[in-house]
Amino acid sequence: MVTFLVRRIAFMLVTVLGAVTVTFVLATMVPSDPARAALGPDATETQVAQYRRERGLDQPLPIQYVRYVGAIARGDFGTSIVSRTPILDDLARFIPATIELLVPSLLISIVVGVGLGIAAAFYRGTWIDQIARFLSLVGLSMPIFWLGLVLQLVFFRALGWFPASGRLDSGFSPPPLASGLYTVDALLAGRWDLFWSAAHHLVLPAVALSTLTLGIVARMTRSSLLDVLSSNYVRTARSKGLQERRVLWKHALRNALIPIVTVIGLRLGQMFSGAVLTETVFAWPGVGRYAFTALRQLDFPVVIGFTVWATLVYAFVNLLVDLSYSWIDPRVRLE
Amino acid sequence: MSASSASRAGRAWRRGLGRLSPLGWVSLTVVVAAGLVALAPVWFAPQDPLAFDILRRLEGPSTASWFGTDELGRDLFSRVIYGVRLSLGASLGVVLLTALVGIPVGIVAGYLGRAFDTVLMRVADMFISFPSLIMAMAIVTVLGPGLRNAMIALALVWWPQYARLARGQVLQLRELPYVEAASALGAGSLRIMLRHLLPNAFTPIAVKMSLDVSVAILATASFSFLGLGAAPPSPELGSLVTQGRNYFLQAWWYTTLPGAVILLLSLAFNSLADDLRDLLDPTLRF
């Protein structure tokens, strides 16, 4: 177990170093001059030269690289070229909004996806199976930016049930900062009206973001459950007269869980990309939109900071997924 | 090809088609139609996709223009027809490019083993651990927005999936007697990899490629939507959705219909690839 953890954490660090290296190389390939970009067209040559000296941009690239990696290792992500605020502060400000969006959409994907998968496997070959498979296929094939716009058209414009963008209604100011998640902070402050407004704003973007993962989880649940349902011990359970429902819930589902949990972990990394699209469509002030705006403005320190953060979270979640294997199936030994 | 092998191939096709699900048939029709439209859009587009008529600005769907018109009065259906050509071409391009990079890497790593394997697969693992589309977005930004650069960027982040798959296949195949026999007869590594390993490792790779067409359709459309792929006034489907977004409260059809075509294409390729997987190798699961 300890060896496993040490090896995994070492690989995690190598991966993050890889991400930093790739983004650093990309940043050096950008045709525009970062010093000029930061200071604007009106700055004099002397000012630009001074900026380069202060930031170490006049040093050879290998030295810049080593310094940069050293700074990141110390937790110093630098400052944004455009807003001139420390990137870590920006990330801390935008990450809660993205988490607030990711958690419910992951929950929707898991609950609906696993439900569809179980229904399809349980009623294999019937019309219920056909419909569940078709729905999961639609989820897999959905362009989420388009779904976001259609949801806005239907539920905002036509029906007026949900707001189209932002995190709160215009009359409200954010709840006192605790977690940065408006729903949680509103509950902590005992403000039901604020909680309602925040939750209301969450519905459409969370649904849009959940579709792809939902489709993948449903398919994985179905195929994994079908594998298990054809195994010998399930036959034994049936032949000793257990009810089919009991066989499914008590015996089969837990053993079908490992591939499902794995695919959920793998999807989380991809959901950051989905968050870029969803946050753009719904003007959601999260880290995906922040990174995308930075990308458009060639603000590479921000892009690198975001990539490092996303890689770390992704690696960490997958570590948790691996650790969960031995909890789901005690025969699994982590080595 | 001899007459008997041709008739055998014909039988295999008929058997395969006979086992298509009803949804598979619908999907096959959509895919074939999309292929024809992509090959010769000029036969299918009722009007010139670039001809504008400002008097017919933002007209809703009608018998005259099935998908309505855009802000310059251009026929949206004709633009979508040309958009299918761009989107489909780009997605097939991405899948081919990705496979062309990934498969050789995987085969070399699997067959030659040792240092090749360790180095290539560690690099692949690293790429798999990145949030891939975000990395691809960064690459497109550096290369400059455009459909071709979006294709290159996607191939750069997706190749490890093919490398892993091909390597896994080769690791199994290289232990088989026929590879040993070829080697004993004096075949060189390159010959073994190209003539013996590649064809036999290809079934699961082909299945993955067919499944990935739909992923590539969505990814290229998303890139164009974000302004990283095809740029307006290009009728690429994702780009049409972006162009329509500016008018979407007054002209629902402008974003909705091109986007629905993206969904339809992606759904058809997905469902057909599903059936193909069941036909080619029922034990495979992705």
Mean pLDDT of B200-217: 88
Enumerate the residues of chain A whose CB falls inside 8 A of the CB of residue B218. Answer: 141-143
| A303 or B166, which is more confident | B166
pTM: 0.88
Mean pLDDT of A231-239: 87
pLDDT category of residue B97 using cuts at 50, 70 and 90: very high
Predicted local confidence at residue A334, as pLDDT: 65
Q: Which of B21, B134, B159 to mutate to test the interface with A (most CBs of A within 10 A)?
A: B134
Mean pLDDT of B122-139: 81
Residue tagged 């939507």 (tokens): B225
- Which pLDDT tens digit goes with each residue over B49-91? 888 888 888 888 888 888 888 888 888 899 999 999 999 999 9
- DSSP strands (E only) in chain B: none
- Which pLDDT tens digit goes with each residue over B171-204? 888 888 888 888 888 888 888 888 888 888 888 8
CB of A149 within 8 Å of a chain B CB? The answer is yes
pLDDT category of residue B218 using cuts at 50, 70 and 90: very high
Chains A–B, number of C-beta pairs less than 8 Å apart: 136
| B116 or B286, which is more confident | B116
Predicted local confidence at residue B285, as pLDDT: 44
Tokens of B73: 């009065």
Mean pLDDT of A92-99: 90
- Which pLDDT tens digit goes with each residue over A162-209? 998 888 888 778 888 778 888 888 888 888 888 888 999 999 999 999
What DSSP letter does each residue of A20-83 carry, written as one string?
HHHHHHHHHH-SS-HHHHHH-TT--HHHHHHHHHHHTTTS-HHHHHHHHHHHHHTT---B-TTT
Predicted local confidence at residue B4, as pLDDT: 62
Q: Is B256–A153 a contact, with Cβ atoms under 8 angstroms apart?
A: yes
pLDDT category of residue B143 using cuts at 50, 70 and 90: confident
pLDDT higher than threshold 60 for residue B3: no
- Which pLDDT tens digit goes with each residue over A34-79? 677 777 777 788 888 888 787 777 788 888 889 888 888 888 888 8
pLDDT category of residue A315 using cuts at 50, 70 and 90: confident
The pLDDT mean for chain A works out to: 86
Q: Which of B119, B127, B128, B129 to mutate to test the interface with A (most CBs of A within 10 A)?
A: B129
Residue A311, C-beta contacts closer than 8 angstroms, at least 6 positions apart: A15, A16, A19, B129, B130, B131
Report the C-alpha gap between A113 and A215 in whole angstroms: 6
Determine the distance from the C-alpha atom of residue B1 to the mean position of all C-alpha atoms in its chain, rounded to a whole number: 29
pLDDT category of residue B1 using cuts at 50, 70 and 90: very low
Determine the distance from the C-alpha atom of residue B208 to the mean position of all C-alpha atoms in its chain, rounded to a whole number: 10
Q: Are B137 and A295 spatial neighbours (Cβ–Cβ below 8 Å)?
A: yes
